[in-house]
């Protein structure tokens, strides 16, 4: 009855608000969930929780947001088909904060937690110790969306009317209106991961001035994780730019002048109305112009996995606030150019993929066979001949049935006591990856795995209470075995420390947390690598100034690699490899293949020669050690997006990997008595050294990465790939420095049409031919448009097809074998020419 009254009361209050019944406890709870009552399913959302202690006693404890998911019970045997099955709720997670609540006091707490989707609920519970004092339920406010689930668009400041009305075509071809949410400083987090509900955020001048330094840093963290930040221009552009901490981007506002001719912008945006005059800023810097070449609408900057766009104009002023120009602007900006940018998961994918590696314990985590064997031998001698002779001497052989079990208990107790004394009841394995592939600031990722089978409820404690963590208790109970009144599998509680409490559901499995750790990533700056071209050779150099001993440092390029070996602090080493470009080999195997991760440790001089056709690969000369297996598994897991991204195997882009069994900084763990085990991997992209003056980077040196693969069907022929419908997008990332100016690029692709007039994917033509229209496209960043390349197999273009760092994007669209347009291909190549200051 009480529950029914409570639910009725919840429906009568304003949306997004919930109150605990005042008579139920001395603590009253009021909750405002989300932004204007809205949340994005599966992403972080704020909850403003107001607590009021109407009692006479001071209280201290935790306020927790407990997520409950709904589970529909399976149909019973013999049930009538179509009968609606009952459902139940079970707890999935909890996020809370330590609070003190004096008698008669009122306090407001901001909780950030991942909001569940439809058909779920969140209970806000105040606990004093283990005793529940007050509880209020809040049904999910997440909307049901059919098809892709994009993030929202946030606006810090005034929302342009055109943005609220725009409809954007999603990757599934369906136009939808994005969820646009107004952000305020009060509902803006201090941790970047807690902005993952948003794909884009527009910041106006008024909104920029309202943020604290912590919130500005969180905004930058969000951009580095894949977010797209837009800064308003116009008369108040300097105020908008103030939202960024110093030295984030290189930009200068030369002057602000009225602009009356928006004809070039209207033509670029495919709008029929050029609109009225408005103030526009004249910008300069190392960003990429966005908009028409003669009068760009802004500058764009790449930062980590995301980007920053600075508008020259104010989108809240005409002609951009509303009407055709405003609608065309947001359609152009919000339409994703590829799937990767649309389905931005921030750090979630990287952190979740790293956690599994904490399962791989080092060899010294457990006793070796020798001490175990010696211990068992001592037990056998005592339990067998020892007990027999002692009892026979005492003339009490009948006590054998008591003495042997008692001796077993004593031995087991001694083992358990030693384990407790040495801290062995909790094994901690820390895996870190320091990734510097983006060419700017390194990114650090840390996963901590706790193995504590003797501790049913385990508390993992960290020093930094403000750290954003992802929790993954491996294993656990299935939903049909969980009850609503159970504790959630994990609870994240913030106080003077950060505590993650794991319930007994994961007792016999690994309990893991992971987090972005850019403080540890600072050590990655000490590892540097360069490559230069000497004729047809690639000369690589690596230097270790990290202060750590590194092992198995290796250069990867295409389908080849070289291991330089172990590097002590201050050591340097070099390698030589051959520069190659994809070539058609009528007798070749499909490829180029990626070297297996285990080969790096078994064959340090490069991958072994492939076996003859029809012959199996030779077995290695030895087995891998446990430490080599740990490193190989980490490499396979972290670099899997390079080696497994669709059917087209392009080979490794220039990459350096190195490992260490030392920590990259202090992960901030507390409450553990035994030293953790560590495995650290460094990942970086070598810098291409270019001598001053004119330069030419040969085709094949910059290996493309597959960034989008929408393939309907494919087939192989020797080392060719046949693309049957769909498309594949390639990105070339040489990461040139600011002193490099690209003047010319040469695109080449081997194209062989299907031989003969028969339908289907028959054999290819004997020789490559010119590429027809509609097959190969290049993306022009200044025009934000794809342009077709056809009539040849080699195309020499101007340097404005490349971003300032040399990045170029190509797209290949497959033919239709049923219509006789099928073809085979090799990965395209790009050569660069330009000047080096």
Angle between helices 348-355 and 626-638 (to 10 degrees): 160
Among all chains, which residue has been given the structure tokens 């106080």? 495
What residue spans define the domains of the chain? 2-73+86-139, 152-344, 363-422, 521-612+619-688, 693-836
pTM given for the model: 0.84
Q: Can you give the pLDDT at residue 337? A: 64
β-pair partners for 257: 280
Residue 482 backbone phi and psi in degrees, to 5: -105, 145
The C-alpha atoms of residue 761 and residue 651 are separated, in whole angstroms, by 25
Q: Can you give the pLDDT at residue 327? A: 87
The C-alpha atoms of residue 474 and residue 355 are separated, in whole angstroms, by 10
Q: Can you give the pLDDT at residue 118? A: 77
Q: Which CATH number among 3.30.450, 1.25.40, 3.30.43, 3.40.50 corresponds to the domain 152-344?
A: 3.40.50
Per-residue CA distances from 792 to 90, 407, 599, 787 (Å): 62, 85, 39, 15
Angle between helices 387-394 and 400-422 (to 10 degrees): 130
Which of helix, strand or coil describes residue 296? coil
Q: What is the dihedral of CA 197, 202, 204, 207, to 10 degrees?
A: 10
Q: Can you give the pLDDT at residue 10? A: 29
Pairing of strands 677-684, 427-436: parallel
What does the buried/exposed string (b/e) look like for 787-804 if buried means 16 or more CB atoms within 10 Å of the residue's CB? Answer: eebeeebebebebbbbbb
CA atoms in the 13 A half-sphere facing the CB of 664? 33
Q: Can you give the pLDDT at residue 832? A: 94
Q: Can you give the pLDDT at residue 164? A: 87
The 10s digit of each residue's pLDDT in 54-101 is: 988 899 999 999 999 888 877 777 767 767 777 788 898 999 999 999
The C-alpha atoms of residue 697 and residue 37 are separated, in whole angstroms, by 54
- Confirm or reject CATH 2.60.120 for domain 693-836, answering yes or no: yes
Q: What is the dihedral of CA 542, 547, 551, 554, to 10 degrees?
A: -20
β-pair partners for 71: 88
Q: Can you give the pLDDT at residue 126? A: 94
Q: Which of 728, 700, 730 has the alpha carbon at shortest distance from 712?
A: 728
Residues of the chain with pLDDT under 50: 1-22
**Alpha-helical runs (H) found in 300-450:** 323-334, 339-342, 348-355, 369-381, 387-394, 400-422
DSSP code per residue over 78-106: TPPTTPPPPEEEEEEEEEEEEEEE-TT-E
Question: 2-73+86-139 adopts what CATH topology?
Answer: Immunoglobulin-like (2.60.40)
């Amino acid at each position: 009855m009480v529950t029914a009254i409570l639910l009725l009361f919840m429906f009568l209050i304003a949306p997004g608000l919930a109150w605990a019944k005042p008579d139920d406890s001395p603590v009253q709870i009021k909750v405002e969930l989300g932004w204007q009552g809205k949340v994005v399913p599966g992403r972080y959302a704020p909850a403003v929780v107001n607590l009021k202690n109407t009692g006479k006693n001071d209280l201290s404890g935790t306020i927790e947001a407990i997520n409950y998911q709904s589970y529909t019970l399976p149909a019973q045997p013999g049930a009538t088909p179509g009968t609606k099955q009952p459902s139940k709720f079970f707890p999935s997670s909890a996020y809370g904060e330590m609070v003190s609540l004096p008698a008669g006091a009122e306090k407001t707490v901001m909780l950030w937690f991942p909001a569940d989707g439809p058909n779920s609920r969140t209970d806000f519970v105040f606990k004093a110790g283990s005793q529940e004092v007050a509880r209020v339920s809040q049904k999910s406010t997440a909307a049901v969306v059919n098809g892709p689930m994009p993030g929202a668009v946030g606006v810090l400041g005034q929302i342009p009317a055109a943005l609220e009305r725009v409809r954007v075509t999603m990757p599934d071809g369906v136009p939808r209106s994005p969820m646009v949410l107004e952000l305020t400083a009060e509902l803006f987090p201090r941790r970047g991961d807690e902005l993952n509900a948003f794909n884009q955020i527009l910041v106006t001048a008024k909104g920029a001035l309202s943020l604290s330094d912590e919130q500005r840093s969180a905004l930058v963290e969000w951009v580095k994780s894949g977010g797209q930040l837009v800064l308003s221009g116009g008369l108040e552009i300097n105020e908008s730019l103030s939202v960024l901490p110093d030295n984030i981007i290189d930009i200068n506002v030369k002057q602000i002048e009225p602009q009356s001719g928006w004809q070039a912008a209207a033509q670029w945006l495919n709008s029929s109305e050029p609109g009225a005059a408005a103030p526009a800023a004249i910008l300069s810097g190392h960003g990429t112009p966005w908009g028409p070449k003669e009068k760009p609408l802004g500058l764009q900057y790449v930062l980590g996995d995301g980007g920053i766009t600075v508008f020259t104009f104010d989108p809240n002023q005409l002609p951009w606030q509303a009407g055709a120009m405003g609608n065309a602007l947001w359609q152009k900006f919000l339409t994703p150019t590829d799937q990767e940018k649309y389905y931005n998961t921030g750090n979630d994918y990287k952190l979740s993929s790293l956690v599994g590696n904490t399962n791989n314990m080092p060899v010294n985590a457990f006793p070796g066979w020798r001490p175990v064997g010696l211990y068992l031998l001592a037990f056998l001698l005592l339990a067998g001949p020892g007990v027999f002779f002692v009892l026979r001497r005492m003339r009490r052989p009948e006590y054998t049935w008591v003495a042997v079990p008692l001796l077993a208990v004593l031995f087991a107790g001694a083992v358990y006591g030693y384990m407790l004394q040495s801290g062995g009841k909790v094994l901690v394995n820390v895996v870190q990856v320091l990734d510097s592939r983006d060419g700017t600031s390194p990114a650090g990722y840390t996963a901590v795995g706790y193995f504590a089978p003797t501790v049913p409820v385990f508390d993992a404690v960290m020093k930094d209470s403000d750290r954003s963590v992802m929790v993954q208790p491996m294993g656990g109970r299935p939903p049909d075995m969980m009850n609503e009144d159970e504790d959630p599998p994990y609870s994240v509680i913030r106080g003077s420390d950060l505590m993650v409490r794991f319930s007994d559901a994961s007792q016999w499995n690994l309990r893991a947390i992971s987090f972005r750790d850019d403080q540890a990533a600072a050590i990655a700056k000490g590892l540097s690598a360069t490559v230069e071209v000497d004729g047809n050779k690639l000369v690589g150099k690596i230097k270790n100034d990290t202060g750590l001993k590194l092992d198995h440092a290796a250069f990867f390029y295409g389908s080849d690699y070289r291991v330089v070996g172990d590097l002590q602090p201050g050591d340097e080493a070099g390698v030589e490899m051959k520069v190659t470009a994809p070539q058609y080999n009528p007798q070749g195997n499909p490829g180029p293949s990626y070297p297996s991760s285990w080969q790096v440790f078994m064959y340090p001089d490069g991958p072994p020669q492939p076996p003859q056709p029809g012959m199996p690969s030779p077995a290695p000369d030895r087995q891998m050690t446990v430490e080599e297996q740990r490193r190989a598994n980490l490499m396979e897991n972290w670099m899997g997006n390079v080696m497994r991204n669709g059917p087209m195997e392009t080979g490794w882009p220039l990459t350096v990997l190195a490992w260490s069994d030392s920590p990259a900084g202090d992960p901030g763990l507390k409450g553990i008595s035994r030293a953790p085990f560590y495995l650290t991997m460094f990942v970086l992209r070598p810098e291409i050294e270019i001598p001053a003056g004119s330069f030419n980077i040969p085709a094949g040196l910059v290996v493309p990465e597959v960034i989008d693969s929408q393939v309907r069907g494919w087939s192989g022929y020797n080392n060719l790939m046949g693309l049957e419908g769909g498309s594949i997008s390639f990105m070339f990332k040489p990461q040139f420095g600011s002193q490099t100016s690209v003047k010319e690029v040469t695109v080449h692709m081997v194209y062989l049409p299907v031989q003969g007039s028969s339908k289907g994917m028959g054999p290819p033509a004997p020789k490559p031919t010119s590429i027809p229209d509609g097959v190969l496209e290049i993306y022009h960043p200044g025009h934000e448009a794809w342009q077709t390349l056809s009539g040849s197999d080699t195309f020499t273009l101007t340097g404005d097809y490349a971003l300032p760092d040399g990045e170029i994007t190509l797209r290949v669209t497959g033919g239709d074998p049923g219509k006789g347009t099928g073809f085979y291909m090799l990965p395209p190549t790009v050569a660069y020419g330009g000047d080096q200051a």
